[in-house]
Amino acid sequence: MSQAEVSSTTDHSSMEKRNSTHVEEAGMPQRRTFGQKLKAHLKKWWWLHAIIFIALLLLIILLLVYVGFPRIAQSEINNSTLNITSVDISNPTETSFVLAQDSFIINDSAYHPQLDAFNASLALQGEAPYAYVTIPALHATATAESDLQQTVQITNLTAFTAFTTALLGNDMVNMEVHGSTGLHEMAFPATTVDYDKIMPLTGMSSLSGFNVTSFQILLIPLANGTNMVGDVLIPNPSVFTFAMGNVTMNLFVAGAYIGNSTIDNLVIAPGNNTYPMSSITNQTAVILAITETYKDGMLPVDIVGSSSVYDGVHLTYYEKALSSLTQHVTLNVGAALKAIGVTIP
């Protein structure tokens, strides 16, 4: 083979390799970018992503409405404050009384929901409920009035006695109010909230300041045996008004019984209460005491409540409360005897 033929064969072989390489490069797929892949994926599966998005959005809304909102509502109820300004307990029987109560609710929240009427239990803190009342529906604005006027049945006499005893005998008591009610706010579905409050209330401080402000001895007793009359002062620092009926108290000197005193139609209202008092005393024992022991005529007397009768019915929840207290007064019996012409040597 000549040199020209060899050269021609070599050039032809090189051209075939270049053509084969070019064909292979032209047949290879090009690598796509992440953006191109994502775009293609979304174009194909957009409907699936739309369903997932809507489902997640719906889940968030449902959690907010049925979990978040009730929790927020309960929290705002818990943070509100109930203030009682007046409590009037009248027409008492052994099983019921008429309640007139003025109060207001302070709500510092940005939400001002509507609360449905509901039944609530009343109790001395730590004790069983003594009664149930109906709380009227109200709009919980920043300051909302909540007033009651209803006949209340005493459901637990022992618990109510514990409440009256604590209220009369202490400077402060805690009253529990428990109930549940429906709450409505804007377009949110109604939710149920618990209304649980412990309210500190000013007590009657054992009737501190009780005093016989004036009295006189009767030489000739009245038809019912009354031989001493006078006026008594009963302070009441609380917001409670109690109608107790005819209240009788026993009188003692150095532990010895010397008689009793009665206040008719007693109503203890907030502030100072002054009532006429009539007494039946053992005048012989009194004169003996000031001639032998209290020669200055100043007689120390202990007074203990014994009965509370309203419309002929004994009110044991007041009687037990009154009997738990002892009032101490000093009576100038020497001056009272001198005023009626009796001089004790």
Q: Which of 150, 177, 194 is nearest to 82 (CA)?
A: 177
Given pLDDT bands bounded at 50, 70 and 90, which one contains residue 82? confident
The whole-number pLDDT of residue 23 equals: 45
41: pLDDT strictly greater than 70: no
Four-residue CA torsion sign, 190, 196, 201, 203: positive
The answer to whether residues 123 and 156 touch, using CB atoms and an 8 Å cutoff, is no
331: pLDDT strictly greater than 90: yes
Which residues are CB-contacts of 221 (< 8 A; sequence separation ≥ 6)? 227, 280
The answer to whether residues 200 and 174 touch, using CB atoms and an 8 Å cutoff, is yes
The whole-number pLDDT of residue 6 equals: 44
48 or 325: which leads in pLDDT: 325
Neighbours of 168 (CB within 10 A): 25
Pairwise CA distance, residues 77 & 315, whole Å: 37
Instruction: Scan for tokens 């009032």, then name that residue.
Output: 327
Measured in degrees and rounded to the nearest 5, phi and psi for residue 163 equal -65, -50
Residue 19 structure tokens: 């053509």
318 or 193: which leads in pLDDT: 318
* Alpha-helical runs (H) found in the chain: 3-27, 34-63, 69-79, 157-169, 283-292, 316-323, 333-339
Taking only the tens place, the pLDDT of each residue in 138-188 is 876 767 788 899 999 999 999 999 999 999 999 999 999 999 888 887 666
The whole-number pLDDT of residue 104 equals: 85
Pairs from 214-220 (Cβ < 8 Å, separation ≥ 24): 215/277, 215/279, 215/331, 215/336, 216/336, 216/339, 216/340, 217/283, 217/333, 217/336, 217/337, 217/339, 217/340, 217/342, 219/340, 219/342
Taking only the tens place, the pLDDT of each residue in 90-149 is 999 999 999 999 988 877 766 677 888 999 999 999 999 999 999 988 876 767 788 899
Q: Which of 172, 215, 212, 197 is nearest to 333 (CA)?
A: 215
Q: How confident is the model over 327-334, as a mean pLDDT?
A: 96
Given pLDDT bands bounded at 50, 70 and 90, which one contains residue 61? low
Measured in degrees and rounded to the nearest 5, phi and psi for residue 78 equal -60, -35
Q: How confident is the model over 180-209, as a mean pLDDT?
A: 86
Q: Which of 208, 165, 189, 3 is nearest to 113 (CA)?
A: 189
Angle, vertex CA 84, rays to CA 137 and CA 89, nearest 5: 90
CA dist list (Å): 209 to 213, 232, 264:
11, 10, 20
In this prediction the pTM is: 0.79
The whole-number pLDDT of residue 137 equals: 86
The answer to whether residues 300 and 330 touch, using CB atoms and an 8 Å cutoff, is yes
Angle, vertex CA 236, rays to CA 230 and CA 239, nearest 5: 145
Q: What percent of the chain has pLDDT over 70?
A: 78
The whole-number pLDDT of residue 18 equals: 53
Residue 57 structure tokens: 């959005």
Taking only the tens place, the pLDDT of each residue in 237-273 is 999 999 999 999 999 999 999 999 999 999 999 999 9
The answer to whether residues 290 and 333 touch, using CB atoms and an 8 Å cutoff, is yes
> How big is the chain by its Cα radius of gyration, in Å?
44
Pairwise CA distance, residues 88 & 268, whole Å: 10
